Amino acid sequence: MMSKEMKFTEAWKLSQIPYQELVFKSFIKSRGISYISKTHLSNGKSSNEKMIRRVIRSAVGNKIVVALIIAVASFISFIQSEYQYTTLSILIGSSLSLLMIFGYTLLYEIQFLPSMLDEQPTELLYSLPIYNSDISYILILAFIRAMDFIIIVDIAVPSLLVLILTHSLLASFIEMIGAITSVALATGLAIYLSKIFYQIANREKRSRTESIVRLMFTVVWGALVMSLALLYNYNTYLTPSLEKIITESSMSSILILSSIPSFSFSFLISSTLGGKSYVASYAAIGFSALYVGLSVLVILWSLRTIATFNNLHHDTNRKTPRDLKLVLRGQTVGYSIKDFRIASRNPTTAFLLAAPVLEAAIVLFPLITANVVGTITVLVGTVIGGIFTCFVVIGLLTAEGTGIEYTRTLPLSTNKVMHSKAFTATISYIPVPVIFALLGVIKPAIFNFISLIPLWELPAVAAAALVEMMIIVKSSGEERVLIFNLSSSILYFIASILVSCLVLGLPLVSFILTNLILGQKIASEIVLALVSSAEFIIMMHLTNVMNYSR
């Protein structure tokens, strides 16, 4: 793998080029070429330098944020347990922190690696007199540059926490090995999944079956990304469950638990701290050794695979299409379908396709155990569904990329684009009223028609999506580029979400107040539906009359 031609220091220095290229191309993709060329490049050299520095700073900032999330997740894992600083609490804290490290590293890498595959950041180096093996070496180092803070925090934070809590160097060392193993396994899995995503998402459309397979894969991918993003929540639920399993369950359950990568190292730490189960200790030694061995193989495989990223290209095995027919639709639906297609082929926005499924799962989960469909359950489910839709709007704006340059040449007003994106986002909310309507039939409700509240809220959800986009369009300046970069527009993002929440909340507050004043649930529902519809009509009117010049 390592070349004899190039020294490490030289390769490390050169790896800054593909790393910077990757960061810069991703930035251009997320802001649009016109933004860069007109706002920055034309203002002279100093402005260009400032912008490049800003892009690099922004990338470093993103890494620091992810590293902080991992550090906090690790810390929380150790303070969740009721058994403060006992062998059991260390066991649980260590297991969960390793699980968090695995999850968050995987989450970051599966969003970052496909861009590395797509952007081909070392392409330019091939025109220089550098051996291919050296270019692969440089690419590996560029990958390490992209992960540096995160890997350091992944390994250092849990090891230090174990050292501070146990005062045992051995326990801390085992935790460190566990962390390295977790990072290695997460990286291997991320590389494998990214390659599959790249190959499936960029494959030619040859048959309906392949399209369905690709759609299914994207939905599963989206669900995985969203599940990993919600790891913090699992932490709260997992701690008491783990305590119960470890203290009350049979030896076989403990053995099964110790066979899981994150847990095997924790059981080993526990045994060095005087844990009583010899069988679990021996099993933990065996499984830990197994995972260390496996992680060495995974690291070698990962390095080999990253080195071949340069050679992965789009599917060029062409086949004459069955026909040259087009399916034409109206402007709004045509634009929505374009958004849907783009989002499904980008790993960072693919979660949008899973949005309706996840909305359904989030709303359905607390309802399964409920005996009666109550007012609070319905209102909370409706609000959660609505807020989730607002995040879908952000995803849709982020997905545009540089293609927005072409859209600007088409006879399409900004209002129309906003309406089509609001339409697409609102589709992701539809499972919420459907689930409640079905539950209203299956389960007893505290009064008839309560399950229809999410349906009456539908216009308010569309209105909230429109409000959100109006605020974001304001943030994009004179050229009205309908494209959004979260990291550089965070204040607008917060403002847009807050205002959208007000729009979502107003019909529900109207329902509660009317019910309090009149004590009539049906009348309150009618008020809710009227307020929600009024919001939608007002927003449609506002977006239509606002003077967007292009």
Partner 1 sequence: MLLPAVEIRDLTKTYGMIRAIDGPTLNINQGEIFGLLGPNGSGKTTTMKIISGILKPDSGHIRVLGFDPVQEPILVKNRIGYVPETPTLYESLTVRDFFEFVSSVRKLDKGSTATKVEALTKAFLLTDYFDSPIASLSLGNRQKVSIIAAFLHDPQLLLFDEPLNGLDARSGKILKDLMSHHAEKGGTVVFSTHIMEIAEHVCKNIGIIYSGRLIAQGSINDLRRYSDNQETLEEVFLKLTNEKDTIEDTIKILKNALG
Which spans of this chain sit near partner 1 (rule: CB under 8 A)?
33, 38, 42-44, 47, 118, 201-202, 204-206, 313-316, 318-321, 324-331, 333-335, 337-338, 341-342, 345-346, 401-403, 405-413, 478-479, 549-550
CB of 227 to partner 1, least distance (A): 24
CB of 116 to partner 1, least distance (A): 15
Say if residues 459 and 531 touch (Cβ distance below 8 Å).
no
Residue 131 neighbours by CB under 8 Å, 6+ apart: 3, 5, 6
CB of 208 to partner 1, least distance (A): 12
CB of 395 to partner 1, least distance (A): 15
- In this complex, which beta carbon is closest to partner 1, that of residue 16 or of residue 202? 202
Task: State how far Cα 236 lies from the chain centre.
Answer: 20
Say if residues 91 and 258 touch (Cβ distance below 8 Å).
no
**CA–CA dist 376, 521 (Å, integer):** 13
Structure-token pair, residue 233: 């929540």
- In this complex, which beta carbon is closest to partner 1, that of residue 79 or of residue 410? 410
- In this complex, which beta carbon is closest to partner 1, that of residue 330 or of residue 444? 330
CB of 396 to partner 1, least distance (A): 13
**CA–CA dist 550, 542 (Å, integer):** 16
- In this complex, which beta carbon is closest to partner 1, that of residue 341 or of residue 541? 341
- In this complex, which beta carbon is closest to partner 1, that of residue 46 or of residue 371? 46
Nearest to 386 by CA among 215, 219, 532, 489: 532
Residue 245 neighbours by CB under 8 Å, 6+ apart: 253, 254, 257
Nearest to 52 by CA among 78, 88, 19, 75: 19
- Number of neighbours of residue 269 by Cβ within 10 angstroms: 27
CB of 484 to partner 1, least distance (A): 16
- In this complex, which beta carbon is closest to partner 1, that of residue 38 or of residue 195? 38
CB of 205 to partner 1, least distance (A): 5
**CA–CA dist 550, 544 (Å, integer):** 13
- In this complex, which beta carbon is closest to partner 1, that of residue 168 or of residue 402? 402
**CA–CA dist 133, 78 (Å, integer):** 43
Strand partners for 445: 373
> Residue 55: enclosing H or E segment and its boundaries?
helix 45-79
- In this complex, which beta carbon is closest to partner 1, that of residue 119 or of residue 134? 119
CB of 177 to partner 1, least distance (A): 41
**CA–CA dist 306, 142 (Å, integer):** 10
